Amino acid sequence: MKIRYISALNCFGSCSLDSNHSLVLESLKRLEDNLPVREFSMPRGANTFCYCVKANVIVTGGDDKVIRLWHPNISTKPVGKLVGHMFSITEIVTNEKDQHVISLSSAKVFRVWDIQTLSLLQVFHDSQGGPGDMQIYSMIYDANHGMLITGSSVMDMYPLTKMIQDTKQIPHTHEREINVMLYNKYFHQVLTICSESIIRVWELETGLQVYQILDSHGFNIEVTSAAINESGFLFATGAYNGTVRIWDFGSGQEMKVLLEGKDWKEDDHYLRRLMFLKAPEEHQHLLLALERNGTVKMIQGKEDDIYLMVVWELPGVVPFLQDGKHAVHLRTSTRDRNMALPFPDVELIVERKFSQPTNKPAINLLRVNCIDLLQVEGYNLIAAGTLSEGHVILCNISSFLDPPHDEKKFKQLLSWRAHSLEIVKVIYVEEKQVVLTASIDGSVRLWHALNGHYCGYFGQRRVFELSQTNDFILPCDVTEYPIEIKEESKFTEKQKYEYPLIFDREQRKSLKKNIVPQINLASSFFPAIPK
């Protein structure tokens, strides 16, 4: 039926309708001998075949309507099957860049498949004429323009990139909204936690999941905060009931726990923030915890004890601040302490007179929800996510940092829509020059920092492609393109000269007198032609 030379394998391949000798694949050296060759067998033979270099698979299709994927060195059994065509498969091509297979049936129905996930991406058909009219004899894929080109009595072109992109599912890293996102620069991995208390760890470069922990603080206990220690080997999680756990980052094994107090009320010790501190002794762990009521605690963990304990506490000041006070007085406590800590033991000075409560909220809502500082090619840049619109903004603040601090020096460079809902965390990864965004929509997405190009989301079936590309794609829930703000050209501003040009009328008159005789002299050499 067909014969092709596969340069990547340095082999010739040919297919036939024979069920036993459906596909033969061998190198040129085998032409001189009579030894058995590599044969691939399939029911009713093969009408067509092609080779995908990236995936290292041979794709075949025939009258049995099944697309088979073969490893070049394993002819006994295919490594995958794609089922969906209702008629015989007549032509197959590959999109090497995206690792897609595009197949055509005798009914002129096209199907686009993902080689990695073995999933169907798109179905469309040629509407010109009936199945027997204008039979398609050949098909190629133009990677430069993203076009599928078919040849019959006419040539047709199909722009596949846009069609395939529109059929992608809404990104989902977790089923519930994201509470925490952290990046471990030593493991090059991303840690995410959702409101369902599922902890997941992902590879940054591929987007593949490493492991997950279910019900990390118990059934139906929401995890609200987390932190990674300085070495990257440990991470801690805190829940809404005040419990804290320390885990081994590499394996996800629980190491230590701070249990819930017997007299604690629900939501009374809701943990908003955790931070690892440098311990004064080896094999010890120190954590600083901030509760929603304003209480700050220091939590200690010893090597030979699986239980954590609170060793220092700064009383909650939020109730006093809500009464209209802008400052709360403290004094050193006289209580004896069993261990030396880098913080003094203090207590609040309670005043009997309280100002009248105001109707104003204690905290003003800010438009910017999260920020991360980055430095690229000598410029200090800041990435910020807005509350409800899901935008990421890139600003140049290098000149703003130099005094005087003028707001006009704070220049916006780039803005793009990353999510359709609120962004809760933004992280810049310097070595890859990418931005991570986490949202209440349940997804964590990856973007190129300098142009806002979308790379993918954690949890997708395909691996990430972090290399810079000219192809621009968007998540299916985002329709806005990145907006690049260019600086105004200095030539558009009005120029002020110390010595401006002045029009000299006297000089112009003298020049006019000298020019007129020359014109008359020239006319004498070319007399006028009589009518």
pLDDT tens string 206-262: 999 999 999 999 988 999 999 999 999 999 999 999 999 999 999 999 999 999 888
| Residue 403 DSSP class | S
Contact, 59 vs 69, CB < 8 A? yes
Q: Which of 107, 132, 166 is the last residue of a domain?
A: 166
Supply the pTM of this predicted model. Answer: 0.64
pLDDT at 319 over 60: no
pLDDT at 129 over 70: no
Phi, psi of 492 (to 5 degrees): -80, -15
Same domain, 145 and 274: no
pLDDT at 529 over 70: no
Plot region of 459 (φ>0 → left; ψ -120 to 50 → alpha; else → beta): left
The CATH number of the domain holding residue 326 is: 2.40.10.480
Tokens (6 digits) for 339: 């261990």
At 185, which amino acid appears? K
Q: Could you count the other beta carbons within 10 Å of the beta carbon of residue 344?
A: 12
The span from the CA of 337 to the CA of 311, in Å, is: 9
When pLDDT is averaged across residues 116-126 and rounded to a whole number, the result is: 83
Higher pLDDT, 168 or 42: 42
Contact, 196 vs 189, CB < 8 A? no
Q: Which of 323, 345, 360 is the last residue of a domain?
A: 360
- Residue 245, beta-bridge partner list: 237, 257
pLDDT at 309 over 90: yes
Asked, for residue 259, whether it belongs to a domain, the answer is yes
At 374, which amino acid appears? L
- With tokens 């492991």, the residue in question is 211
Tokens (6 digits) for 191: 């840690």
Asked, for residue 497, whether it belongs to a domain, the answer is no
Contact, 110 vs 125, CB < 8 A? yes
Q: Strands 444-448 and 454-457: what pairing?
A: antiparallel
pLDDT at 184 over 70: yes
Same domain, 138 and 23: yes
Q: Could you count the other beta carbons within 10 Å of the beta carbon of residue 129?
A: 12
Q: How many helices (H) and strands (E) does the chain have?
A: 4, 38
- Tell me the longest C-alpha to C-alpha distance in the chain: 125
Q: Which of 304, 338, 360 is the last residue of a domain?
A: 360
Asked, for residue 113, whether it belongs to a domain, the answer is yes
The span from the CA of 431 to the CA of 184, in Å, is: 12
Same domain, 162 and 17: yes
pLDDT at 121 over 50: yes
When pLDDT is averaged across residues 397-425 and rounded to a whole number, the result is: 76
Instruction: Calculate ∠ Cα 27-32-35, nearest 5°.
Output: 75
Element (H, E) at 161: helix 160-166
Element (H, E) at 426: strand 423-429
Domain span at residue 90 reads: 2-166
Element (H, E) at 522: helix 505-525
Same domain, 246 and 309: yes
pLDDT at 437 over 90: yes
Same domain, 134 and 227: no
Same domain, 240 and 122: no
At 58 the pLDDT is 93
Asked, for residue 198, whether it belongs to a domain, the answer is no
Same domain, 121 and 239: no
Distances (CA, A) of 464 to 14, 96, 430, 443, 467: 34, 15, 17, 15, 9
Assign 507 a pLDDT band (cuts: 50, 70, 90).
low
Per-residue model confidence as pLDDT tens digits over 330-360: 566 656 655 555 555 656 555 544 444 444 4
pLDDT at 515 over 50: no
At 181, which amino acid appears? M
Q: Into how many domains does the chain fold?
A: 2
Same domain, 221 and 91: no
The span from the CA of 263 to the CA of 334, in Å, is: 25
The span from the CA of 169 to the CA of 476, in Å, is: 7
The CATH number of the domain holding residue 39 is: 2.130.10.10
When pLDDT is averaged across residues 304-328 and rounded to a whole number, the result is: 70
Higher pLDDT, 33 or 326: 33
| Residue 318 DSSP class | H
Same domain, 61 and 152: yes
At 478 the pLDDT is 85
Same domain, 144 and 219: no
- Ranges 282-296, 315-329, 381-395, 459-473: which has the least confidence: 315-329
The alpha carbons of the chain give a radius of gyration, in whole angstroms, of 35
| Residue 218 DSSP class | B
- Ranges 126-135, 242-251, 253-262, 283-292: which has the least confidence: 126-135
Tokens (6 digits) for 508: 């112009």
When pLDDT is averaged across residues 195-214 and rounded to a whole number, the result is: 94
- Please state, rounded to an integer, the average pLDDT across all residues of the chain: 79
At 269, which amino acid appears? H
The closest alpha carbon to 192, from 207, 172, 206, 178, belongs to 178
At 456, which amino acid appears? G
Contact, 473 vs 416, CB < 8 A? no
Tokens (6 digits) for 13: 């391949």
Asked, for residue 502, whether it belongs to a domain, the answer is no
Same domain, 279 and 337: yes
Higher pLDDT, 474 or 328: 474
Asked, for residue 394, whether it belongs to a domain, the answer is no
Same domain, 156 and 266: no
Asked, for residue 503, whether it belongs to a domain, the answer is no
Bond from prior residue into 72 cis (ω within 30 degrees of 0): no
- With tokens 């990430």, the residue in question is 464
Assign 522 a pLDDT band (cuts: 50, 70, 90).
very low
Plot region of 166 (φ>0 → left; ψ -120 to 50 → alpha; else → beta): alpha
Per-residue model confidence as pLDDT tens digits over 368-387: 555 555 554 444 455 555 55
Distances (CA, A) of 273 to 168, 277, 483: 36, 13, 34
Asked, for residue 157, whether it belongs to a domain, the answer is yes
